Structure 1
Amino acid sequence: MRSEPDIVRELREAEKLGLLKGKTSLVYRDSSVLDDSGKGSDADVDSSFSSVDMFFEEPVDRDELFRVMVESTSDLIAITTFSLNPRYVYVSPSHEKVMGYKPEELIGKPAFDLVHPEDKKRLFSLAKRYISLKMKGLFGERNHEISERFEYRVRDKIGNWRYLESTANLVGNNIVFVSKDVTERKRFEHQLMDLKKRFEDVAFSSGDFIWEIDVSGRYTFVAGGVKEILGYTSDELVGKTPFDLMPRDEAKRVKRVFEEVVSEKKPIVNLENWNLTKDGRRVCLLTNGVPILDETGNLLGYRGVDKDITERKRMEEQLRDFLDNANDLIQSVDSEGRFVYVNKSWLRTLGYTLEEVKGLTVFDILRED
């Protein structure tokens, strides 16, 4: 069963609390459900309501009804004069809960007195423009010809600045403001902006290559020492893929690894890959990254860091070359005794080939005698 319309629920609550003068009967009609006479059916139906009829067994003060509806909302509703220095002529009770002011404390006071100085200039310019337009007769006789949405800061009773998101409507010679307190939302947005700024500061001062890619593998953000490492500017890399920077065979190898990682939404851990700089030099990068997921777990891309380990790789190659050509027999085994490295002298002296050594342990080659 679908829920009742908001207006129906609000009127029901007002009726239960005895806030409506006179005895009322609420009937809800759905034009999509017709009886034999062609009239809409009453009461509960599993569809949206198209109309609400209110039958008052006793006369109802419609001003009272309006007051109940306005005063029961959590929105801030205020009515001001329409001038360059608007003054409050009505303030809803919700202002006391949000702002700390009782309505009687604000009635007759200039509305701009509570507005932040930086925002006051903007609101004053809006008021000036509206008055100028009205004087030119661009609004005609109808109400609600102005409808403007904006954010601004106001000072609450204890002196704190609160953010309001307001809609202003011209009604006759008054302006009706309907506002929501969005202070917490703005605070959260500012925290996100601070974190983003902090991240960017770290990224741009880092000697590493910091990046983000989308789900198709194309760079969407590049910062840090990319210019020093690869010779490209950040703007030159945005839109490219990491594979565009690799030699062909290396791109094929790394792409296979990347596709496997992406298919399982796993992090990228210590992935070594060779790249070509803008001037054609080979550099080795150590890549680490984490997946970026939306609130439902869908993959949006990856965010990570590339470290230039070219010098380390060159030193490793020099060390390996030295060990390979040493006259001594050199071997390296893991914790289970399996060979992970033997040099040429070891193979030559013991008569094994490199393929034969793979998978063997030191115990496999020990002689019983």
Structure 2
Amino acid sequence: MGETTGSAGQGGGTAVRTGYDKLLSDSQRWNYAEISDLDHIGAIEGGVDGFAAMIFCSQSSTRGPVVGPDRKDMRVAKKDPIPGCAALQRLVDECSTADPGHGNDVSTHEESPLCLVDECSASDRAHCRNDRPQKESALEWAIAIDSMDDAIHIVDSDLRVVRCNTAFAQWCLKLGVPAEVVGRGLLDALPFLPPSACDEYRYVLDTGRTLVTKETMRVGAGDIATETRKIPIVREGVVSGVVTVIRDITQLRRAEEALRKSEATARAIFNATTDTVVLVDREGNILAVNEVGAGRLAKRPHELVGANIHDILPPGIATRRMEKCDEVVQSRKHVRFEDERAGRIVDNSLYPVFDAAGDVCAIAVYGRDITEERKAQEALERIFFLSVDMICVLDTDGNFRRVNPAFTRVLGYENKEVTGRHFLDFVHPDDVQATVREVEQRLSDGSPTTHFDNRCRCRDGSYRWLEWAATYIREEGLTYAVVRDITDREDEERKALEESRERFRSIVESTSDWIWEVDANGVYTYASPKVRDILGYDPEEVIGKTPFDLMPPDESERIGTEFRAIVQARRAFERLENCNLHRDGRLVLLETSGVPIIDKDGNLLGYRGIGRDVTERKQAEELRNYSEQLEKMVDLRTRELRDAQDALVRKEKLAVLGQLAGGVGHELRNPLGVISNAVYYLETKLSDADRAIKKHLALIASEVQHSEEIVSDLLEFSRTKPGKKEEIAISVLVAQVLERYTPPQKVKVTITMASDLPLVFVDSQQTRQVIGNLVTNAYEAMPDGGELFISAHAEDSAVRTSVHHQGERDRPRAGGFKNPGPGQRREYYGRERGR
């Protein structure tokens, strides 16, 4: 929808603003009823917040033929009195009561809730001709409304849209709704409205009361906040429609939110300070106070707002405060003063607050409790005057601004003789350069001076050693310094230094080590007298030489390479053995230790250390090592003899054991044969015996067979003939053993063997017996169940097999054996049966 237009001749319409200019300048017989551009004129009641009374004009939905100046379509809605617009109200009233007495040349809107007039009577036209100012005012209002930024539309009592302005059409386009909404139902024309909007319109139609709502709508990628006013159209006491005014308050909402945040921030700052902040008017009434200020009066801020300072402060303090407030009002400047109340000292700062006219309308009071600060200042003053050390304050030029009485006691000067003079005037000439360098360095990097010593002249011309600790405060442009008289300490230190030097000289001359010092090039700069006893040279002969000049060529090359690496790393070294040539040509073995000498700038100045003659000690060590070696050789031969003797005894014991085993074996075979025959006889005679008897007979026969195998093994052991060896896999032997000795139900067997294990050359029967003994021992050791582990791996030219178990109630135990292969000794280890 564009600008509002009306019928203005054949073939088209003329813009309202253009028609308005033309009407105001036309000299023909145009009267009020001849304004063809004003199709509808409605009276809209103004709301709150600046919504003024207005006239709304819009283009009619249908148009009739071109008519002359005597026939116009005037559609007017009668309205309750419009505040502040009597002429406009009279125009609305007169148009609402016009007599529709002409034909059908002009189209009408019977469905419109407005009172429609097809044609004005002659008397009406005459009245309008005499009321041209009202006509012009109505037209101005129509143009103004159509050019408003607020979106306006009218719905009738059936909730159909009957009118809208250009801003509302643009609003619809912004929301993706076609602008042709006139004549359509509310929700059909405006689908972005929620269903509850109909209830709001019904409320206005039923109650005749204006309804104001606020909404937020999503438009594109952002939100738009709106305020909507639904205003009833009342004719003869009946609500016939609703005028809706939609205002975009997005910026207002953002401004309000920013204002709220700003106020919250200001309030937080207002209450965050530890000072009392109060805003009072010119009469002393409190307009605002922060939490700290109210708390100092044992009140809450809202309890003090509105109260007068005379009501909350003692009379004397209140009167003085008001005098200071009057001084601020009169001078229009900041006023500062201190007062005391209840033993607390308060530093008060008063600032004028000006209104738009530039007059002082209020006073901002900032009160800071400086009681502790004042106490600290007084304590500092006491320290300043009572300190035994000198304390002074210097300006940026180095002039004394203030000194304490200690200057008089230490240097003899009166205060006036020092204040205003440059501190270098008192420094010893030999110390001026170092003092200036210290000051410049500290000023450049901002670091404080902690321990700087120099000499200063006393009033009597003597000098005393002083130790300075100073800090420059850049913000104040002042240097604060504490100066201590260390003359006595310096004297004691010099005396102690002399004593230390003498003590060092005595130690150096009496020690058995040679003390030396070389420069960065490795040239001796000091050699203690002990070098004469170690190498036969006088100290003067050594100074100027290098350590390598005193070594054989090959030793010099070896030690030189090592020493260059030490110097490169700047590290200390100790017990570096090196061979040196004595003056008489014999070799002397020295053990040398040294540390680097580094100056304060990090430069290597050389090395300092000691050299110890270890020639005799090395010879003694070699003799001792040779003696220890001989002892080891004797021990080895003794142990070999003992092992041979033990082996012989074992062989004799084994021979006796073999004979005993043979005798026992023969003695046991006879009773075992009898038992076996008896079992056979019983099985023959008791062929029809029950299952239990047969089971026990079979058990006896099995155990007899097992006992005979044991006896056979004993007899085999007693024989001296070698066992029958063969190549066989360990895994086969383990499988045969587990097949013979089935694991109990609660015992889990885990076998770990490499797939590429070589075959072993062993007596398979004896090996099975060894593995079987280990396995059955493990079973017996785990009555409550557990896990049996059998593993084998290649080790050098042998295969090592291990058997160990983990019972439910005991710790892991292990056993194993090793068969080194053909022609080598068999080795077995494990736990004994029953352990």
Q: TM-score scaled to structure 2, two decimals?
A: 0.29
Alignment pair present for 1:282 and 2:340: no
Following superposition, the deviation at residue 63 of structure 1 comes to 0.7
Q: How does 1:153-232 map to 2 (within 5 A)?
A: 153-155=215-217, 157-158=219-220, 160-164=223-227, 166=229, 168-171=231-234, 172-232=239-299
Q: Secondary structure at the match of 1:152?
A: strand
Following superposition, the deviation at residue 15 of structure 1 comes to 6.4
Kept after mapping to 2: 8 A contact 1:212/1:219: yes
Q: Which amino acid aligns with 1:90?
A: R
The farther-off stretch of 187-196 and 245-254 is 245-254
Larger RCO (CA within 8 A; separation ≥ 6): 1
Following superposition, the deviation at residue 168 of structure 1 comes to 0.9
Name the CA distance, whole Å, in 2 between partners of 1:130 and 1:149: 7
> Tell me, which stretches of 5 or more residues in structure 1 are unaligned?
1-12, 28-52, 134-145, 347-361, 364-369
Q: Which amino acid aligns with 1:160?
A: D
Alignment pair present for 1:79 and 2:141: no
Kept after mapping to 1: 8 A contact 2:205/2:232: no
Q: Secondary structure at the match of 2:180?
A: helix
Alignment pair present for 1:55 and 2:31: yes
Following superposition, the deviation at residue 324 of structure 1 comes to 7.4
Greater fraction helix = 2
Name the CA distance, whole Å, in 2 between partners of 1:71 and 1:116: 26
1:67 to 55, 58, 68: 58
Alignment pair present for 1:307 and 2:368: yes
Name the CA distance, whole Å, in 1 between partners of 2:280 and 2:379: 34
Name the CA distance, whole Å, in 2 between partners of 1:267 and 1:113: 62
Kept after mapping to 2: 8 A contact 1:206/1:224: no
Identity of matched residues, %: 19
Kept after mapping to 2: 8 A contact 1:213/1:302: yes
Name the CA distance, whole Å, in 2 between partners of 1:112 and 1:64: 23
Following superposition, the deviation at residue 312 of structure 1 comes to 1.0
Q: Secondary structure at the match of 2:210?
A: strand
Over 3 Å counting, the alpha-carbon distance change for 1:127 and 1:340 in structure 2 is: farther
How many corresponding residue pairs? 294
Kept after mapping to 1: 8 A contact 2:280/2:363: yes
Name the CA distance, whole Å, in 2 between partners of 1:56 and 1:303: 62
Q: Secondary structure at the match of 1:232?
A: coil
Name the CA distance, whole Å, in 1 between partners of 2:348 and 2:329: 14
Kept after mapping to 2: 8 A contact 1:24/1:57: no
Name the CA distance, whole Å, in 1 between partners of 2:152 and 2:194: 19
Kept after mapping to 1: 8 A contact 2:205/2:241: no
2:377 to 295, 298, 316: 316
Residue in structure 1 matched with residue 179 of structure 2 by the alignment: 103
Deviations 1:173-229 (A, max 9, x none): 321123443332332222212211222234345443333222323222222323553
Kept after mapping to 2: 8 A contact 1:218/1:241: yes
Over 3 Å counting, the alpha-carbon distance change for 1:206 and 1:93 in structure 2 is: same
Residue in structure 1 matched with residue 166 of structure 2 by the alignment: 93
Name the CA distance, whole Å, in 2 between partners of 1:71 and 1:313: 71
Name the CA distance, whole Å, in 1 between partners of 2:300 and 2:267: 16
Q: TM-score scaled to structure 1, two decimals?
A: 0.57
Name the CA distance, whole Å, in 1 between partners of 2:168 and 2:162: 14
Q: Which amino acid aligns with 1:170?
A: I
Name the CA distance, whole Å, in 2 between partners of 1:59 and 1:239: 60
Kept after mapping to 1: 8 A contact 2:204/2:231: no
Structure with max Cα Rg:
2
Kept after mapping to 2: 8 A contact 1:166/1:177: yes
Deviations 1:332-362 (A, max 9, x none): 9999x9x99999xx9xxxxxxxxxxxxxxx7
Following superposition, the deviation at residue 157 of structure 1 comes to 4.3
Q: How does 1:1-80 map to 2 (within 5 A)?
A: 17-18=18-19, 24-25=23-24, 55=31, 60=36, 62-63=38-39, 66-67=57-58, 69=142, 70-80=145-155
Kept after mapping to 2: 8 A contact 1:147/1:170: no
Name the CA distance, whole Å, in 2 between partners of 1:57 and 1:200: 61
Following superposition, the deviation at residue 236 of structure 1 comes to 3.9
Alignment pair present for 1:152 and 2:214: yes
Residue in structure 2 matched with residue 349 of structure 1 by the alignment: none
Kept after mapping to 1: 8 A contact 2:228/2:247: yes
Residue in structure 1 matched with residue 326 of structure 2 by the alignment: 259
Name the CA distance, whole Å, in 1 between partners of 2:345 and 2:283: 23
Name the CA distance, whole Å, in 2 between partners of 1:197 and 1:162: 22
Name the CA distance, whole Å, in 1 between partners of 2:296 and 2:248: 48
Q: Secondary structure at the match of 2:39?
A: helix
The farther-off stretch of 96-105 and 195-204 is 96-105
